[in-house]
Structure 1
Amino acid sequence: MASDLDRKFDETLAAVTGPGGRIQVELDAQGRPFVANFPGTLPALFRTFCGLNAQTEAVVAGSERLTFAELNSLSERLARALAARGISKGDRIAIAMRNCPTWIVSYMAALKAGAVATLLNGWWQSDEMAHALDLTKPALALADSTRAARISAANVISIDVDLPIEQALAPLLEAGESDLPDIAPDDEATILFTSGSTGESKGALSTHRAVTTGVYTYASHLLTLLSILESEGRPPPNPPRTLLSVPLFHVTGEVPVLLNSFVIGRGMVLMSKWDAGEALRLIEKEKVTYFVGVPTMSLELMTHPDHDKYDLSSLTDIAAGGAPRPIRHVERLQKAFGWAQPALGYGLTETNAVGCSNFWSSYAEKPASTGRAQKPFVEIAILGPNDAHLATGERGEIAIRSAANMKCYWQNPDATKEIFTADGFVRSGDIGYLDEDGYLFIVDRKKEIIIRGGENISTAEVEAACYACPDVAEAAVFGAPDERLGEVPVAVIRARNALDAESLRDFLHATIAAFKIPARFIFVDEPLPKLGTGKVDRIALKALYGR
């Protein structure tokens, strides 16, 4: 039975998105809803909402503060400078930086110049960077000095992001200015990278329509919640501000946090790296109202020894995404931040972060669920044999359909064909079911993927990195539960020569990102157990060593 909040939300959302509402919804050629009265491209989104929110403080980064108008002006100049350097519509521009104002302006400028913003994982090592660059062949790579050192391409420009942004961008702006191209909603906009069960990262390519649909999906739901609060006579006491602590190269950082902030006029307080103590200080100092991160991050806010030293009363919403949040965390969250509303989201890189959401009292009532489909823009299906849509309560693979779905995997038609169903749903690789109220419950994972604190890790990739060590005879990697990170990779190793965990860990540090390196190494003398197919029996190994 639908809760009072769900009924009120549905009624208010219908008014917000219905005839005469603030958001006008139409269907695309595939019958998928999209917002028709908001800008359909990212350059138009930036120009429109930076104009509407011109004097609002958009970015706080240390001592640097920029309004939305300043972001728009700087990105316009940089876009024209990129065009003067020969960047053409459809070229890829890779961005590899820590969270900083220069990342945001570079992203805006690349899109305004008609390029495809190609977001490199800032934690990658040289081999991982090389794979992404070889796959996408960007015309230009913009990187901070730390990431530039990991990129061997000749077309990389190293930017000193510790300088004030005008000084940081000065070498790029010297190119002069050229005209910018016209951009259409169906033009290609972004490439984000996702780890697959087969190993190397794939590039999820999205159009402007897909990305903006993802943004407006979140914006419409926030407008609905705001309308509910206002109708109850309890509007938010502080202007919206978010702590931008998740990486901008992740879809969560890019779509619901960064881009959505332009639409709703929300200030962004940037963190270059996660530190729970610093986060608490910034929440008090900058009167942050909204926090989102992987569940590990909110757990660290709750348990930090300085938690009670700060005034955190401005914080009204604490959301999580990227990984499951244990039910026990929800209970602890309500005790530690009794005045703040909890929320949880579920989406994919391939869906531009849209999928399901669970919030406020509904989340407290169903803390094991990742929520309902983000209507009217999202459909959730549970797939059975031959992609048949299963009934309420039946378990199958979760699939998502919306106009926010990516276009394809970059230059990978086989993987693209595999992830899309014939009726346009994206397969998630997760197993779950829908209850009678439409709430989604995730119960298992179909792919050989480990989610460590919100970072997807391919077991095949980590195993391949282990096998590159000449002293490894056999390797198998699986995920084991972890109270703080959700799960962590564990490697079972049969060595051919003398080998210990420290030596293997040092070897792996040179080839894969630190978050992919197993938390535990288990060395065995006997050959690893095999299935009838000859593959290593991970289930048996997990049963033996996964606790």
Structure 2
Amino acid sequence: MLQLISNAFSHSKKTAIVDQFGTYTYKQLLSKSEQIASFLLNGRQDLEEARVAFMVSPGFDYVATQWGIWRAGGIAVPLCISYPFPSLKYVLDDTGAKKVILGKEYQEVLAPLQKEENIDLISIAAFNKDANFQALPELDAARGAMILYTSGTTSLPKGVLSTHANIESQISTLVKAWQWSSTDYTLGLLPLHHVHGIINVLSCALWAGGTVQFLHPFDADQVFKIFAEGKVNVFMAVPTIYFKLISAYESYSPKRQKQISETLSTFRLMVSGSAALPVSVMEKWKEISGHYLLERYGMTEIGMAISNPYSGERKAGHIGFALPSVEVRLVNENDEPINPGESGEIQIKGPSVFKEYWGKPEATQKAFTADGWFRTGDVAIQENGYYRILGRDSIDIIKSGGYKISALEIEEVIRTFPKIKDCAVVGIPDEEWGELVVAGLVAATDFDSKSLMDWLKTKIPAYKVPRKYLVIEDLPRNAMGKVTKNELKKRF
């Protein structure tokens, strides 16, 4: 039996899930997922790694569906609930999923699938009928478990196939490193088609016997109301969410601010990830909550690989050390380890690393070195043992006038300038420089780009100062809140 499921039997009477419809125990979760597994099997002994897609809102039904697919021997393919139909169809075509489980609120967007003869649309309501429970298959941990899709920032999204062993390694590593326990209570805000929401929040909490309360859609006022109830003690979010929470907090009365700060100070752990956390946001949240956010580093392909310590110094702008059972190295363009103090590509090896890109053997082969290291494409430097991300080689490392420039470093400086709310730095093609450093800015109405440019020249070398500025209402972002820099480049 899968370890995640096995652990649940030890906590059968405890509350596992809280959502807008009610409170559910581990026993109810096990029963519902068994019912779904039996329905999917329909007399068969094993789904034998058939891909089953599902588009279900965050909550009890989502978890029961995911567990049900796993317990029936299928590969779970969670669909992003905010995607338009063409993006969903791409995933279904790519995985070859023949069954799609959907909540009633997504029937309209998936309506075109009703014309497809080879796709079976299953309403989540179908599982509320009396089910004929049947024996479930014994599953080998080496079998495929889940296909998640990369964000597709540089090419078409790729399906990342992880095995049950990969997922169990990702979960157990974090449970140990971040000291999850059955007394933990967390708030689920993050999309559940992404490793941050599925593994770091949902699966870690349930592995340990904790409780996950879901809030969908995100609402800053509601988040603070839930915090005020005094149950939540672990919180994980992306920088965009922390930014929105800070904005809401600043609009409250001093009395309410004091109450919120007192509540936040009692939390055990607060984590930020999925995008670089601006130091300014880190420091402001520290003022509000008393917590220095724990930053970590991971990807769809590897789960989490590097983390600031749970106990010990957390360094702003740094992602910390390699997690247990994860090997990390920095290399040059020839996959050769670099000298101390130099920057290089992060490469990862360990049991948490995915099996393959679904249906893409060439892409899978290119993603690994000859001796089995996964190429992340992210560039970092190690300083006093702590890793610091300089950016993604193809997006955040700008090659201009013979220099390799970190966009993230420039962004950190720009954010400290008055009247700048947020920013993103990119390189655009230029005949003279190769790439020209430019910046997209979210700024106050009376902002003056010349004053920023003059100020930057006193803070960073001239070759790093952006040559062009574009003031926009908001930065383009994906579902996880990451800035989509290729979209920003198009605006220039």
Q: Provide the residue aligned with 1:55 in structure 2.
A: 13
CA change 1:341–1:76 in 2 (3 A) is farther
Q: Provide the residue aligned with 1:329 in structure 2.
A: 281
Residue from 322, 327, 343 that aligns with 2:294: 343
* One-letter amino acid matched to 1:64: G
* One-letter amino acid matched to 2:18: V
CA contact (8 A) 2:238 2:480 kept: no
CA contact (8 A) 2:153 2:484 kept: no
Write the distance in 1 (CA, Å) between the matches of 2:126 and 2:204: 26
Q: Provide the residue aligned with 2:349 in structure 1.
A: 401
* One-letter amino acid matched to 2:307: S
Task: State the 1:219 CA deviation.
Answer: 1.0
SS at match of 1:200: coil
SS at match of 2:2: helix
Q: Provide the residue aligned with 1:528 in structure 2.
A: none
| 1:72 maps onto 2:6 in alignment | no
Q: Deviations over 1:428-460 (max 9, x none)?
A: 1211112232x1111122134899xxxxxxx9x
Task: State the 1:408 CA deviation.
Answer: 0.5
Q: Provide the residue aligned with 2:188 in structure 1.
A: 244
Matches within 5 A, 1:468-483: 480=440
CA change 1:513–1:404 in 2 (3 A) is closer
Q: Provide the residue aligned with 2:454 in structure 1.
A: none
Write the distance in 2 (CA, Å) between the matches of 1:258 and 1:133: 24
Write the distance in 1 (CA, Å) between the matches of 2:190 and 2:348: 24
Indicate the percent of aligned positions where both proteins have the same amino acid: 24
Task: State the 1:97 CA deviation.
Answer: 2.1
Write the distance in 2 (CA, Å) between the matches of 1:144 and 1:284: 30
| 1:357 maps onto 2:307 in alignment | yes
Q: Provide the residue aligned with 2:94 in structure 1.
A: 135
CA change 1:192–1:320 in 2 (3 A) is same
Write the distance in 1 (CA, Å) between the matches of 2:485 and 2:381: 31
Q: Deviations over 1:274-300 (max 9, x none)?
A: 111111111222510011010121232
SS at match of 1:99: coil
Task: State the 1:360 CA deviation.
Answer: 5.5
Structure 2 gaps, min length 5: 397-406, 409-425, 427-437, 444-467
* One-letter amino acid matched to 2:90: H
Write the distance in 2 (CA, Å) between the matches of 1:361 and 1:327: 20
* One-letter amino acid matched to 1:206: S
Task: State the 1:379 CA deviation.
Answer: 1.1
Matches within 5 A, 1:275-354: 275-285=219-229, 287-304=231-248, 305-306=251-252, 308=257, 310=260, 312-313=263-264, 314-338=266-290, 340=291, 342-351=293-302, 353-354=303-304
CA change 1:405–1:479 in 2 (3 A) is farther
* One-letter amino acid matched to 2:70: L
Task: State the 1:60 CA deviation.
Answer: 0.7
Task: State the 1:196 CA deviation.
Answer: 3.3
Q: Deviations over 1:456-475 (max 9, x none)?
A: xxx9xxxxxxxxxxxxxxxx
Residue from 334, 353, 356 that aligns with 1:386: 334
Write the distance in 2 (CA, Å) between the matches of 1:521 and 1:78: 40
Tell me the number of residue pairs that the alignment of Structure 1 and Structure 2 aligns. Answer: 416
Write the distance in 2 (CA, Å) between the matches of 1:267 and 1:147: 26
Write the distance in 1 (CA, Å) between the matches of 2:483 and 2:323: 35
Q: Provide the residue aligned with 2:172 in structure 1.
A: 216
CA contact (8 A) 1:92 1:115 kept: yes
Residue from 104, 116, 121 that aligns with 1:157: 121
* One-letter amino acid matched to 2:59: C
Matches within 5 A, 1:123-272: 123-151=82-110, 152-154=112-114, 155-157=119-121, 159=123, 169-171=127-129, 174=131, 176-223=132-179, 239-272=183-216
Structure 1 gaps, min length 5: 1-42, 161-166, 227-237, 452-458, 460-477, 484-491, 493-500, 503-507, 523-537
Write the distance in 1 (CA, Å) between the matches of 2:269 and 2:365: 38
SS at match of 1:55: coil
Q: Deviations over 1:241-263 (max 9, x none)?
A: 00011112110111121111122
Write the distance in 1 (CA, Å) between the matches of 2:483 and 2:351: 36
Write the distance in 2 (CA, Å) between the matches of 1:251 and 1:210: 12
CA change 1:191–1:378 in 2 (3 A) is same
* One-letter amino acid matched to 2:80: N
Task: State the 1:207 CA deviation.
Answer: 0.8
TM-score (norm 1): 0.69
Task: State the 1:44 CA deviation.
Answer: 2.1
CA change 1:147–1:447 in 2 (3 A) is farther
Q: Deviations over 1:127-179 (max 9, x none)?
A: 1111110000112111223433333334353546xxxxxx67315x55x3443
SS at match of 1:312: helix
* One-letter amino acid matched to 1:369: H
* One-letter amino acid matched to 1:371: G
TM-score (norm 2): 0.76
Write the distance in 1 (CA, Å) between the matches of 2:201 and 2:152: 24
| 1:422 maps onto 2:370 in alignment | yes
Write the distance in 2 (CA, Å) between the matches of 1:76 and 1:50: 13
Task: State the 1:239 CA deviation.
Answer: 2.9
Write the distance in 1 (CA, Å) between the matches of 2:362 and 2:485: 33
Residue from 62, 67, 70 that aligns with 1:111: 70
CA contact (8 A) 1:241 1:288 kept: yes
Task: State the 1:480 CA deviation.
Answer: 3.9
CA change 1:408–1:322 in 2 (3 A) is same
Q: Provide the residue aligned with 2:416 in structure 1.
A: none
Write the distance in 1 (CA, Å) between the matches of 2:484 and 2:380: 27
Write the distance in 1 (CA, Å) between the matches of 2:481 and 2:295: 23
Write the distance in 1 (CA, Å) between the matches of 2:56 and 2:50: 19
* One-letter amino acid matched to 2:355: K
CA contact (8 A) 2:38 2:134 kept: yes
